[in-house]
Structures are given as C-alpha cells and as structure tokens.
Amino acid sequence: MIEPLARQRGNVPWLFVRDSAPVLVDRALFPTLSAFDWRLLGGRIMAVEGNRFLDLLASVAGGPGWRCAAEGDCRRARLRKAGPAPLRTESEPLPLPGTIANDPPVHLGAVDFVPWHTRDPRPTVAIDTLATEGTALVLSHWANQETPASYRADLATESVFAFLDAGAELPSRLLTTDHFDADGALAVFAFAEPDLAMRHRRLLVEAARYGDFRDTACLEGIRLAAVCEGLRRLFVKNVEAPSDSVSRGRVLAACFEAVLSELPRVLRNPAAYGDLWQSEEAHIRATEAEIAQGRLVQLVDPDGDGPVTWIAQRPCPDAGSLPAGTPTYAGWSPQPFHARSRALDVLVLCGHEGTIHQRYESWARLQSRPTAKRADLTAVAAELEIDALKVIDRQKRAPWLLSPHVSFTFDGMSREQAAERVRHALAEAPLGWLPHATSLLPVYGAQTVSHDCAHASGPDVRGSAAGGS
C-alpha cells in the first residue's frame, strides 16, 4: 500500500514511500530529490548530503530540518551502514488525495461531513487533521498546520469554540477529517449543534482533553470521552472491515453520523451509557488505589529536569480486560500519572522491565505552555543498549508517532540505576520532534537548500524533557 508523506497546497506534486525501498516520487519532484543520498534507517527515510542528514517524515510533518551529523550523534555511524533507499518515478503523475472517491456528504445538523479522501468541488474546513488542496480553513492542533492564530489552541475542540466565540462565518459548511477520536468528534459536533455544544462547553473540552491527552480531573469529561470511544467501537464492530482508502472513508463518515446523532441523548442522560464508561472509570480508580497503597511509587528526580519515573510493584491485573488499544503504563491508567506531573517523558519500571513513554502533548502544537524537545527514541534505544539495557520493543518509537515508547529489560542493576541511565540517554539524545519548527525540506519547487545548519535545525531546545509549568 502506498501512503502519502509530503504535500503542498494547490497543484501539488506528491511524495510516497512504500513499506520498503524504493521511495516513489512524482516526476515533478524527481530532479530535486535525486540529488541526495537516500538511506533507509530503521524503517525511516533519511536524506544524506555530506555530513548532514534529514529525517524525511519528521521534517515534512513539522520536525527539525537539516541536522549536522555531529560526532556525538549515534545516527552518524549507523547511517553509513544503512541500506540505500533508491528513488523511482512514475511515467504519469501520481494521484492526489481528495480525488479518490466522489461520495455525497453526510448531513450532521448545521453542517455536512466528508472523509478526508473524498473529492468534492466545494472548499472544506479541516478539523483535527491536515489541510488538502481544497481546504478553506484549518482548525487543528497538528504540527505545522495553518490554523489562524486567533483560533489556535491545545485541542481542535477548543479551536472550534474560539471560532464560534468570534462570531465568524464558516467559509464552507463542509467539514472533513481523516480519523475518529473524541477531540475530532466533539469539534465537529460543536459545529453541527452549536447551541447545545455551547451549553456543555466545558464538558466537551474536558472530554476532548482526556481523549487525546489522558489529562483531566473532570469525571464527567472522562465519562463522555469513554462513551465516544465506546460508541465508535460498537459501530465498527458491526461493519465489514474496510480494505482500501475509499471504504475506510465511507466507514469513517458513517461512524461520525452514528456517534454524533447519539450525543444529544448522551448529554441529556449520561448515566444511561454507564456500560461504556464504567470500565474506564474503574481503571482510573484502581490505579489511584495502587498509588495510595504505596505499590505504585513516583521517584524523586534529583535534578528535576528528567522524565517522571514510576516504580510499579506489579502490572495491573485487570489490564487484559481493557478494550484493545487502550493506552496504559504497565497496564495502569495514565490519568493518575499525568495528574501528578506535567513532564512529557514518563518512565515506568516494573520488575526488571521498563518503558519510556512520550506523551501526546509533546507531539501536538500546544498553546497553553511551551513544548520542550521530544528526544529521538531510536537514538535513546541505541544508547540504552550501549549501557547494557536490552531493548525489547522496536516497533513504536518513531518520533512522529503520537505517543511513541520504547521498552527494555535490565539485569544486574537496581531500578534507580536503570532510571539514571534512561535520564542520561534522554538528555543526550538528538532532537526527534519539534512541533513549532518549520520544515525546510526543499521538495516544493524550491531549487536551493539552506546550508545554515544552525538555522535549519531550529532553536536550541536541548533543555528539560518536561513541559513548562
């Protein structure tokens, strides 16, 4: 399956990568990109030019630009050994997103909805997603997106409420997104049912915050987020699994229609949906009880600038009963962890295993507080193995993922010693993600590349791994 990695607004050439080499590019991009040495490193496409490299996907999505391969960067030596990722071009232009299907929109109250890949001659409003060539307005907290400054917020739902507060007129009543989650669904709902949404504004925002960040003290918000996810699961359970982009888009549109039509009843009587939120609430309460009984303990960071570290005496015994895809820390609910620290790196040690989690907030473009660096966990994993910790999970550590993590085992050392080695590896790791950076990848018609490495790498954010206060 071919997935898009990069795009430009308007009449854009596109860049694609398959699951393995070669990198497939549109013929209009080929002359610019073919000048670089392309390498496949850990499943990531890297452009190499002399002593500099660029992580393609991270840069396109808002991460750092060209980096000097300094002697201390472990990727320098590994790139020399990495296999080539040759470029290949097609004789005909590649298809653009937004030209895959031509389905009619789904009617949702005051607005219409089409999935992101649907072709429609009208302009769209992109909610909690990327812009396409027909986008008239973006309301998203995704990195490197064009949300107007007056509407930027930590959550797409907050951006929609800011837009409603301004009394502005929507440039189009056709909304689009590429996925379903609580934040995106509630943001669309606020446009679909603005009067009802305004009456429940705080509840909707806190539900969106819990859905994305697992970080709210509002119990009603936690319940609403769980109901949104539960309704999605019930809907998906009863439809045939989609096999391509067109069928996925149709399922997405039908899911929005089904869930959002139920939300007015949920808001009137949330207790009636207890079967969808009780397990989530019980999971949080069990984690709180584990902390209260001293079996889940937060270590004190002597310097105060590393990851927040927790030691669990046991994995959560009920983790296996949670719905598939539920985020956990050693099986425990992340919410009590996040309530006690705003650090964006969370280290959980249980027995002789540990996992470094990077919170979703370090991926989004936050407005409420500064976002410190997100370390490259690929480099962190390599450093840990040098320090005799065995990495056991290599699948979910790419810095452009929403919540990457890396797991490891340790023997012959205490948990405190393991925590110290993780702190050191995170502090020394190269930057993996910076939501506020602007990509400098020269693939959109530019004929030259900036060779100012200091400028291209963005500001120096190699300080605390924790967020601002």
Task: Tell me how far CA of residue 30 lies from CA of 16, 50, 62, 313, 440, in angstroms.
Answer: 12, 20, 22, 54, 17
Tokens representing residue 291 in the block:
């902390």
Query: What local confidence, expressed as pLDDT, does residue 392 receive?
Result: 83
Contact criterion met (CB below 8 Å) for 35 and 42: no
Query: What local confidence, expressed as pLDDT, does residue 160 receive?
Result: 98
Sequence-ordered alpha helix ranges (H) in 74-155: 75-81
Question: What average pLDDT does the segment 303-319 reach?
Answer: 86
* pLDDT tens digits, 94-120: 444 444 456 788 999 999 999 887 767
* pLDDT tens digits, 253-299: 999 999 999 999 999 999 999 999 999 999 999 999 999 999 999 98
Question: What average pLDDT does the segment 430-448 reach?
Answer: 45
Contact criterion met (CB below 8 Å) for 125 and 176: yes
* pLDDT tens digits, 350-372: 999 999 999 999 888 899 987 76
* pTM exceeds 0.75 for this model: yes
Tokens representing residue 256 in the block:
């929005």
Pairing state of beta strands 67-68 and 106-108?
Answer: unpaired
Percent of the chain topping pLDDT 90: 45
Mapped to the 3 state alphabet, what secondary structure does 298-309 carry?
EECCCCCCCCEE
The C-alpha atoms of residue 404 and residue 401 are separated, in whole angstroms, by: 6
Query: What local confidence, expressed as pLDDT, does residue 225 receive?
Result: 98
Q: How far is CA 188 from the centre of its chain?
A: 19
In the chain, what are the domains?
A: 1-96+437-469 (no CATH), 106-268 (no CATH), 294-433 (3.10.310)
Q: How far is CA 220 from the centre of its chain?
A: 24
Q: Give the residue carrying structure tokens 């139920």.
A: 262
Query: What local confidence, expressed as pLDDT, does residue 463 receive?
Result: 27
Given a cut of 90, whether residue 387 has pLDDT beyond it is no
Which of residues 53 and 274 earns the better pLDDT score?
A: 274
The C-alpha atoms of residue 329 and residue 350 are separated, in whole angstroms, by: 10
pLDDT, the chain, mean:
78
3-state secondary structure of 136: strand
Query: What local confidence, expressed as pLDDT, does residue 64 receive?
Result: 52
**Residues, the chain, total?**
469
Tokens representing residue 163 in the block:
């837009």
* pLDDT tens digits, 87-99: 665 544 444 444 4
Which residues face 4 on adjacent strands? 16
